[in-house]
Structure 1
Amino acid sequence: MQTASRTTARPLAGDFVVVTEKNRSPRINHVSWGRLEIEGRAEPYKDAKLFPGGSREWNWRETGTNHVPGIQQADVQELLDHGAKIIVLSRGMKECLEVPTETLEFLKKRQIEAHVLPTAEAAQLYNRLAETEWVGGLFHTTC
């Protein structure tokens, strides 16, 4: 078994995978209105998808996401595809972004722990979880 500064064994297809610096979820360095700074990235995001091994801009147009009806199943599917076992969903600074029951049921059926919080609280929880878990997050930094 490989050793690393941060280790968490997770079964994957009968094997064990070790969370290392290379495949862990990136930390959030700063969050404020319209700005999400992620470790290892020079430019901030406005909205972002964070997952084990990386991050990218969260483009709502890709999945038809809008404040209402809110976060779509396709938005969280990408996080699962990257190996996230826990999902943190931010509803925005003023909690205007909805999270439909269907999206939460989609995660529950897959036995994925989900947390829905305002953005600042979501960022704090995400960073705590990222220390030891395979966590993914969707972060909306405005309303």
Structure 2
Amino acid sequence: MTSPQIASLSWGHMRVEGQGCSGSYKDCKVWPGGSRAWDWRETGTDHHPGVQPADLDELLTKGIDLLVIGRGMSEALQVPGSTLDFVRGRGVEVTVLQTEKAVDQYNKLAAQGRKVAGIFHSTC
């Protein structure tokens, strides 16, 4: 399975396109063969302390080698060191970037056929 492409990104909106996994989201999770909305209420996530291991558990079960995290357009979403350690402890490489840069990086890796997942915040 291949990772879907992020076809468009604007403030508060992302469009994912892939075989059997297309959709429009505010914040989203993408992985080889799938995508879905990232609902912060599921794990109690907020800008501070930021992305939690529980936000990433689902993605880390998808057989990925790389994870790209988008911190928002203004990088308001924090990513604690403990969360990065959690991902690396599962043998997955992780990259954290401003969301526009994160989407570009994710799309490049997906186009190369890499086993990449992403989690993106499309506002602040």
Larger Rg belongs to: 1
Deviation track 1:39-91 (CA, whole Å, cap 9, x = no partner) reads 142x5200000011100000001111110010010111111112221000000
Give distance in 2, aligned partners of 1:118 and 1:91: 5
Q: Which residue in 1 is equivalent to 2:27?
A: 47
Confirm whether residue 27 of structure 1 aligns to residue 5 of structure 2: yes
Equivalent positions of 1:1-143 (< 5 A) are 23-40=1-18, 41=22, 43-131=23-111, 132-143=113-124
**What TM-score comes out, normalization by structure 1 length?**
0.81
Equivalenced residue count is 120
Q: What residue is the counterpart of 1:15 in the other structure? A: none
Q: 1:111 deviation in Å?
A: 2.0
Query: For 1:109 and 1:82, how far apart are their aligned partners in 2?
Result: 15
The secondary structure found in structure 1 opposite 2:24 is coil
Q: Does the residue aligned with 2:69 lie in a helix, a strand or coil? A: strand
Query: Structure 1 CA distance, aligned partners of 2:5 and 2:71?
Result: 19
Identity of aligned residues (%): 51
- Higher RCO, 1 vs 2 (CA within 8 Å, ≥6 residues apart): 2
CA–CA separation in structure 1 for the residues paired with 2:2 and 2:35: 11
